Chain A
Amino acid sequence: AQSVTQLGSHVSVSEGALVLLRCNYSSSVPPYLFWYVQYPNQGLQLLLKYTSAATLVKGINGFEAEFKKSETSFHLTKPSAHMRDAAEYFCAVTNNNAGNMLTFGGGTRLMVKP
């Protein structure tokens, strides 16, 4: 079984500040990990993914995440927040079997203050 915990359902940062969204996972097999972003009234857009290659993964819109096996974490960061980053962010886990389901965390709503 796999699970994902996202600490902090709401995170608020100032424009230009560091963004840190936390994700911890549980998996009995080597995980594949994903971050998705959901803008208001829209679907889920893939930000980045970890699939057992480099542990530091760079994604779109300046986001990156680091896979830390010892901490079972896959935290999402961005050096400088922009107003357009305000959205809901979901961390998800699966395994390396093609077609396997994704298990999502509860989501973190990121608010960016001017």
Chain B
Amino acid sequence: EPEVTQTPSHQVTQMGQEVILRCVPISNHLYFYWYRQILGQKVEFLVSFYNNEISEKSEIFDDQFSVERPDGSNFTLKIRSTKLEDSAMYFCASSPDTEAFFGQGTRLTVV
């Protein structure tokens, strides 16, 4: 069964460093998303992407964040200069319409 794949599963980075989280969405899906879950808190929407551009973003998704679909398969989230409060589980999701399929997540720890 097709699935959303995220790499790495864990990432530890120093404050101020740039990180890139990678995702391979399900191949025939059109919509792509990033969500995050700070430990013990709810899952929060970051950004959605369709037709090679951002379709919607939350207040969390500030200038430190960017997304890219560099080729036909990958979908990346870049955090330019990480802060301690960026520590969270980051989920990629893809969707053919209204139902989102989630990856296993990347646990980002900023130290």
Contacts and interface: CB of A to CB of B under 8 A. Distances in A.
A46 B101 CA distance: 8
Interface residues of A, number: 25
B82 interface: no
Contacts of A102: 33, 35, 43, 45, 100
Contact of A98 (B45, B98, B101, B104): B98
Interface in B15-72: 30-31, 33, 35, 41-45, 48, 50, 55-56, 58
B97 interface: yes
Contacts of B33: 101-102
Sorting the interface of chain B by its residue count into under 10, 10 to 19, 20 to 34 or 35 or more gives: 20 to 34
B101 A100 contact: no
Nearest to A101: B45
Contacts of A25: none
B102 A44 contact: yes
Q: Is the interface of B mostly helix, strand, loop or mixed?
A: strand
Interface stretch (A13-21, A53-61, A62-70, A103-111): A103-111
B104 A104 contact: no
29 contacts: A34-B99, A43-B91, A43-B102, A43-B104, A43-B105, A44-B43, A44-B91, A44-B93, A44-B102, A46-B99, A90-B43, A96-B98, A97-B98, A98-B30, A98-B98, A99-B55, A99-B95, A99-B97, A99-B98, A100-B56, A101-B56, A101-B58, A102-B35, A102-B43, A102-B45, A104-B42, A104-B43, A104-B44, A107-B42
